[in-house]
């Protein structure tokens, strides 16, 4: 479900060290009305959240450099506690990130994911932002 037409477009930050995955994710989300910002590492993700108050959802690769998504996730939560995070990985999450998901502080999307699963996860995360 794309964002409502009477509200501003939702901005999604996509952080992944794989250029093809960033581009593919953008190609899936942009036609559905989402604004997409892409970055290649955790430090850039934190900087983007600092600069862009319109980011409502952050999609992070759990194994993204330089330190994995954990350090970036903690910094992003400190800056913007209400932002929703979706972690992606082709493997099981590390225990610290798995706890974040178990505590309801984010969503997990296993790679490879179907386009519909990506759109659903982003839409669900946006509903959490609006309700939170």
Banded model confidence at residue 5, pLDDT cuts 50, 70, 90: very low
Among 106, 94, 105, which residue's Cα sits nearest to residue 68? 94
Q: Which of 2-16, 39-53, 77-91, 96-110 has the highest mean pLDDT?
A: 39-53
Residue-averaged pLDDT of the chain:
88
Mean pLDDT value across residues 28-50: 97
Structure-token match 């759109």, residue found:
119
Chain segment 74-107, per-residue pLDDT in tens: 899 899 988 999 999 999 888 888 887 777 678 9
Mean pLDDT value across residues 19-40: 97
pLDDT beyond 50 at 1:
no
The strand order across the sheet containing 35-39 reads 35-39, 11-15, 55-61, 84-89, 106-110
pLDDT of the residue at 130:
67
Please state the pTM of the whole predicted model. 0.88
């Amino acid at each position: 479900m794309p964002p409502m037409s009477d509200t501003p477009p939702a901005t999604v930050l996509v952080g992944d060290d794989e250029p093809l995955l960033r581009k593919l994710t953008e190609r899936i989300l942009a036609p559905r009305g989402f604004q997409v910002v892409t970055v290649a590492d955790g430090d850039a993700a934190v900087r983007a959240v600092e600069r862009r108050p319109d980011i409502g959802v952050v999609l992070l690769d759990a194994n993204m450099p330089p330190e994995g998504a954990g350090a970036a996730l903690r910094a992003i939560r400190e800056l913007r506690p209400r932002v929703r995070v979706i972690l992606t990985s082709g493997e099981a999450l590390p225990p610290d990130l798995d706890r974040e998901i178990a505590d309801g502080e984010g969503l997990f999307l296993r790679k490879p994911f179907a386009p519909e699963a990506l759109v659903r996860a982003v839409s669900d995360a946006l509903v959490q932002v609006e309700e939170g």
